[in-house]
Amino acid sequence: MGPQTRYALSGDVNIAYQVIGEGPIDLVFVMGWVSNIDEFWTEPSFANFLQRLARFSRLIVFDKRGTGLSDRVDEKNLPTLEQRMDDVRAVMDAAGSKRAALLGISEGGPMCSLFAATYPERTAALLAFGSYPRAMCAPDYPWGRTEEWVRDWVELIRTKWGSGPVGLEARVPSRINDAQFREWWTHYLVRSATPKAVLALTRMNMQVDMRHVLPAIRVPTLIMHRTGDRALPVEGGRYMAQHIRGAKLIEFPGDDHLPWTSDPEPVLAEIEAFVTGTRPVEEADRVLATVMFADIVDSTQRAVAIGDRAWTKELQEFYGLARRQLERFRGREIDTAGDGYFATFDGPARAVRCAQNLTREMSQLGLTIRAGLHTGEVEIIGEKVGGIAVHIGARIAGHAGPGEVVVSNTVKDLVAGSGLQFEDRGVRPLKGVPGEWRLYRASP
Integer CA distances (angstroms), 4 to 37, 62, 76, 390, 441, in order? 10, 12, 32, 42, 41
Q: Is pLDDT above 60 for 242? A: yes
Taking a C-beta distance cutoff of 8 angstroms, is the pair 38, 69 a contact? Answer: yes
pLDDT band at 201 (very low <50, low <70, confident <90, very high): confident
Q: Report the pLDDT averaged over residues 315-332.
A: 90
Q: Is pLDDT above 90 for 39? A: yes
Task: Give the pLDDT of residue 79.
Answer: 74
Q: Is pLDDT above 60 for 283? A: no
Q: Report the pLDDT averaged over residues 47-53.
A: 94
Which region, left, alpha or beta, applies to residue 212 given φ > 0 means left and ψ of -120 to 50 means alpha?
Answer: alpha
Is 362 strand, coil or helix?
helix
pLDDT tens for 347-361 read: 899 999 999 999 999
pLDDT band at 280 (very low <50, low <70, confident <90, very high): low
Structural domains of the chain, ranges and CATH numbers in brackets: 6-276 (3.40.50.1820), 286-442 (3.30.70.1230)
Q: Report the pLDDT averaged over residues 103-122.
A: 94
The model carries a pTM of 0.68
Q: Is pLDDT above 70 for 282? A: no
Q: Is pLDDT above 90 for 278? A: no
Q: Return the higher-pLDDT residue of 80 and 253.
A: 253
Q: Is pLDDT above 70 for 71? A: yes
Other residues' Cβ atoms within 10 Å of the Cβ of residue 417: 7
Task: Give the pLDDT of residue 441.
Answer: 97
Distance CA 294, CA 393 (A): 10
pLDDT band at 75 (very low <50, low <70, confident <90, very high): low
